[in-house]
Each structure stands twice: as C-alpha cells, then as structure tokens.
Amino acid sequence: MANEALKIANIEFAVTSQIGRAPHWTMIRELTMNALEAASKATGEKIVHWTTGTYKGVRKAVIWNTGPGMDASELKSATDLACEVVKKLGLDDNFGVGAKVSSLPNNRIGMRMRSCKGGRVSEVIIGEDPDTKTFVRFERDLDGGRTDTVIDVTAVALREGRNTSIDWTEVMLLGNSEDQDTAARPLASVPTTEKAFIATTLYRRFYRLPTDVKLRLDPVYHRFDSTRTLAAFGDRYDKFARVESVPVPDLNATIHYLHDPHIGDKSGLRKSSSGALGSSTTTACLIHKDEMYSVLTGNEWSAAAPRFGIPFGSKELCVHIELDDDEARPSQYRERLISKETGADLVPDDFALYVVDAMPDWVKEVVRNAFPSRTEDFTDLQKQLQDLLNKYKVKVQGRRVEAEGVPSTEDAGQHAAGGSEGAGSGGGGDASRNRTPRRRLHETPEGATATVLYEMYEKAPEIIMLDTPEQIEEKGLKGKAAEFIMQTGVLFVNGLYEAVDRTIAEVEPEYAGQGEPETVRNLMLAAARQLMAFRVGKATVFALAKRANQDWTESDMMSALTKESLSIAADNYEESINAVRKSIRDGLKMARAAA
C-alpha cells in the first residue's frame, strides 16, 4: 500500500482557526502584492489602483488591477485557501493564504471580489457568517428562486461605467460594520486618523516595484489632493542628498546608507519628502526580494541607531540591509524574515556590527556633525575607567592593552587577571593563575585577529551625557540612568536621572551663601553628573571584566549591562557624596581665585 498524505478532518475549523491566527496588519501588503503580480502579466497597461467605491451608501476601499482576469469557476477557486489559480505554491514563494487570511479579520462583513475575463464580470463576496462564526462564500439570490455564491454582474459593471474590453480584477473591502469607511480606516483594530496611512504602509514595505507597473493612489490615501503614482523607496534614491551601497561578501548582502537632511526651513521636512505620498521619516530595515522587513523608524530607530554606529544623526540617516535571495525566507504570513537554516527570526540588530564595519567615511562625518555641543569633559574619568579595565580584565593572547586602551601587537600575552581583586579573579592571586584553562575544541587559524566587538572589551566606554528631555526620549532612557552600546562602546548617561537631583538635594544646604547662586548650582550639577557617570562607568567596566570569569556566560554579562542594572549602580549616590563635595569645593576655590 502506498504512503497516504495527511488530510484535515475538520476543514471548517482549520480554515477559521488559520484566519484567526493570521496577522491582520499585513492586509495592505498582501492585497497590493497580489495586484502587482497580476498587473505585471498584463498585455496592455500594467496598473494597480487603490481607489474607492460605494456599498450601501458608504465609502469603501477598493484595489483594482489590470492583468489576467478570472471566470466564475476560477474566481470561486481563488477564494479557497492554498489555491493555485494563478500562483505556484512553495515555501520560498507563495503560501496561498496571505491576502485572504490577513484581510478577512478586517472585513467580517465581507470582501467583494470582481473579475473581468473575456468581457464577462463575475462577483463573489467572502466573509464571516454571523450565525455559524465560520468564513464562507455568501449565498446570493437570483431570479426565479435560484441562488449561487458566484454571480455574473456584467450588466452592473457596465452601468457603473466599467471597461469590459480588457481583463481586470478588483477587491472591495466592506469592513467589520456596514457603516465603516474602509478607505479612511482600512484596519479594524488600528483607529488611525492619518490620511496617508496606506501610502506610508506601502512606502515601508515595497522597496522596489515590478518594472513598468504603475501603482496609483487616489487622494484619500496620501497627502496630496489628486491621484498620484507611488514610487517605492529604492526607486527614489535621487531624492536623497547622498546614497552609497556597500557590498558585504561575507554576509551575502549589500548595505545601503542614505543621507536625508532637513531642507532647512521651518517645516521640519527632509530632502526626500519632495513628492513623497506618505511619511518620509528615516528608517532602518532588512530588504529581501525587494520588500522591507522589521522596519525601524521614529523613536524606535533613534533608540536603536547607536548600536549601528549612529549615536546621533538617526533623523537624517537611513540604513537598509539587503540580503541575497538565498539568505532568508519570509515567515508563513510574511510579517517577518526567518533564517532558512534555523528558522530563527532575522532582525536588523543581527547585522549591526556589519553596518559599523562597512560604514563609509561620509556617513561618519554626518554622525560627527550631529553630535550636540558638549560642556562636560570626561577625559580624566574615562582614563580612570580604562585603568580599572586594564587591571581587572583578562588579556587576549598575543595582545597587550596600553594605558589608553589601544591593543598592542606584542607576542607576549597574558591569561591571568591583572590584579588580586579582579572582577573575574575568583579571589585572585595564585588561585587565579593556577586555574585550569578552558579546553579549546577548535584551533585558531594562523593570521586570525580579534574582531571589532572584541575591541569593546579592551577599551573603556566612551561617555556621552544626555541633558535634554528630547535626547533622553530619543534614546529610550526616560526613567533609566544609562545604556551601554556593546557594538560601539558608547555609554549614554541620562543627565536628568533622579539620582542627580537626590545628590544635589543632599549637598545643597552645605553650600548656601558660599558663592554666586548660579555658579554654585552649576558646580553641583556638574559634580553630580560626573560622579554618576563614574558609577555607571565602573559598573560597565566590571561587567565587561566578567568575560574573564569562566563561571559567567555571555548572557550573564549582558544581563549585568542592561539599563536596569546600570540604573541601580547610579542610584547609589551616597557612595560618591564625598567626591561630589570635594569637586564642588575645588570649583568654588577656582571661582573665587578667578573673581
């Protein structure tokens, strides 16, 4: 007996369950991709048009496209899941479920599908039966007491002024209630009031469009007042001040760096906003087969950008990481990318170090120019932290760290901790030196060197003080003291963190009347911030030094470097209170001497 393929016993339950689990926010992508694929096969004009129609007196969203139409039989088949009417199914291509399963939760009242083929227009409505709570093709009444789920509406289409001399297909979104204006609010669970919601959604998904296909949007879907043709992100490079694409052969990828500066007037718009139908805020993302995934924008991108070597300047820089076709595949519902080998999610952060390594000099210059002006000097503080790091860390074989944190090329390396009180010495002294080293299961090839990431373990963190609410909000540090960026070695410190105010409140009464009030206040503020930066800097150094401890894993070390752990270190202001007092006294002496 031959092997038997597994089947679904309860098909209705399986269909309803699959639709219920699907991410409904991918609807716009799915409907647009179906239309683009069909339009690209058209023999005449290749058009996809987001427009509107009326159903029972209410405006509804409609997506219409040229391309091969479907007759009644094909249209009926096309409403089933995993259909192959015009597509070949496969893990790397189509799963045959996207448009329907993502759209039906947003359109329980129904999706009206029409298709013109050979001069005849067929129509079917699919949606949720409110009585059985299952998704169905709705039965329609016809003359003579007949009923069917697919009907011929050629006469209706002609009355509406439709052209039946060419093939086309359209989908009308009826929404979850009869009075829902799906053109203004296409997603039932997203109560957006943004006029350009559809345009922005398309901008942040389609990096390039098929050749010769025009994607048109009526004014209800974008920020202008007439029907416009949308140009995808990757087709608008000429709108940016500068673009550079850097191949990364080891990654089988290309990293695109885009500079989008402000145009210089009071509008706050960027250069690429000229002619843009939707939002033109800067982004970071993955690109695969001309589509964007895991898009970061706004505050989310600003908070993530330091990990990509962009501590400042994220509001005028885009980073797009384009993977070769064979390096990934979309998840079942195409809302994210996954590894072909492991099935693990792929996100931009996975490639942050490559972005840092490949960054062109002109991008680094943009970042430097975006740095806020600094009043604090952390040179002495960072030297103290470097001394601590040199003392407590394990050196890499064949490399010695100089006082400034620059790795040398000397052959004589060390494996023992540099001091008996080292964070990774386990009590230090002879016990540390006599410890049995971890067994190496694989040899290091001759000529191999440490990566950029290892340099972060050899160099004290670069401290950047944030002192405005906008900077703190941008870096996601509201209510947190600090964040260490492992990829670049930058330590952001929240200069408005509550420990600063507590320190000032503790010492302020002691210096009342000892100098000009504003001068005294500035000295207290500078001292409180400097010493808090030292506390979180020490916590960072001690955490990095744990890499030398065989009992600590990489995950343990990263846990010690979280914002929360660094905030606890900052909270211990009493540890530094005497140093704060000394700093203030020294400052007052200098102020009096200069008076």
pLDDT digits (tens, 9 = 90+) for 395-425: 433 333 444 444 444 333 333 333 333 333 3
The answer to whether 350 and 384 are in contact (CB under 8 A) is no
Q: What percent of the chain has pLDDT above 70?
A: 82
Cα 210 to Cα 489: distance, rounded to the nearest angstrom: 42
Give the pLDDT confidence score for residue 387 in this predicted structure. Answer: 86
Whether the predicted pLDDT of 105 surpasses 90 = no
Q: C-alpha dihedral over 460, 461, 467, 472, to 10 degrees?
A: -160
Pair of tokens at residue 441: 């299961």
Single pTM value for the model: 0.79
Check residues 98 and 210 and name the one with the higher pLDDT. Answer: 210
The distance in angstroms from the start CA to the end CA of the chain is 103
Query: What is 11-191's CATH number?
Result: 3.30.565
- Which tens digits make up the pLDDT trace of 535-558? 999 999 988 888 778 888 889 989
Tokens of residue 504, six digits: 């000032």
Q: How far is CA 92 from CA 18, 31, 34, 88, 163, in A?
A: 20, 18, 16, 10, 36
Q: How far apart are CA 546 and CA 91, in angstroms?
A: 43
pLDDT in tens, 243-282: 999 999 988 999 999 999 988 776 678 899 988 999 989 9
Q: How confident is the model at residue 449 (pLDDT cuts 50, 70, 90)?
A: low
On whether the CB atoms of residues 124 and 104 are closer than 8 A, the answer is no
Q: In the numeric block, which tokens belong to residue 89?
A: 């199914």
For the purposes of burial, counting CB atoms within 10 Å of the CB of 211, is it exposed (0-12), middle (13-18) or buried (19 or more)?
exposed
**Helix H segments across 312-425?**
352-358, 361-370, 379-392
Amino acid at position 162, single letter: R
> What mean pLDDT is predicted for residues 427-439?
44
- Which pLDDT score, from 0 to 100, does residue 101 have? 81
pLDDT at position 335 is 85
Tokens of 49: 């048009």
Neighbours of 13 (CB within 10 A): 11
Kindly state the average pLDDT of the residues 127-146: 90
User: Is 482 a residue whose pLDDT tops 50?
Assistant: yes
Tell whether the model's pLDDT for residue 164 goes beyond 70: yes
CA distances (Å), 491 to each of 4, 262, 363, 475, in order?
60, 27, 21, 11
What gap in Å lies between CA 489 and CA 263, rounded to an integer? 32
Length of the chain: 595
Where in the chain are the domains?
A: 11-191, 234-370, 379-430+449-594
Distances (CA, A) of 432 to 398, 399, 419, 422: 19, 20, 10, 10
Residue-level pLDDT at 183: 95
Give the H/E segment covering residue 501: helix 498-507
pLDDT at position 429: 42
Sort 496 into a burial class: Cβ within 10 Å, 0-12 / 13-18 / 19+.
Answer: middle
Residue 179 binned pLDDT confidence (cut-offs 50, 70, 90): very high
Instruction: Give residue-wise pLDDT tens across range 290-340.
Output: 999 999 999 899 999 999 999 999 999 999 999 999 999 998 778 889 998
CA count, 13 A, side-chain hemisphere, 485:
27
The per-residue pLDDT for range 106-125, each reduced to its tens digit, is: 999 999 999 999 999 999 99
Residue 186, pLDDT > 70, answer: yes
**pLDDT tier, 393 (very low <50, low <70, confident <90, very high otherwise):** low
Rounded CA-CA distance 197/279 in Å is 9
- Left, alpha or beta for 73 (phi > 0: left; psi -120 to 50: alpha)? alpha
Helical pair 498-507 and 517-545, crossing angle rounded to 10 deg: 130
Q: Give residue 367's pLDDT band: very low, low, confident or very high (50, 70, 90).
A: very high
pLDDT at 120: 97
What's the whole-number average pLDDT of the chain?
A: 84
494 Rama sector, left if φ>0, alpha if ψ -120 to 50, beta otherwise: beta
Strands (E), 440-589: 462-466, 482-485, 490-494
Query: Across residues 455-484, what is the average pLDDT?
Result: 88
Q: What is the pLDDT of residue 514?
A: 86
Instruction: Kindly tell me if the per-residue pLDDT of 153 is higher than 50.
Output: yes
| CATH architecture of the region 234-370 | 2-Layer Sandwich (3.30)
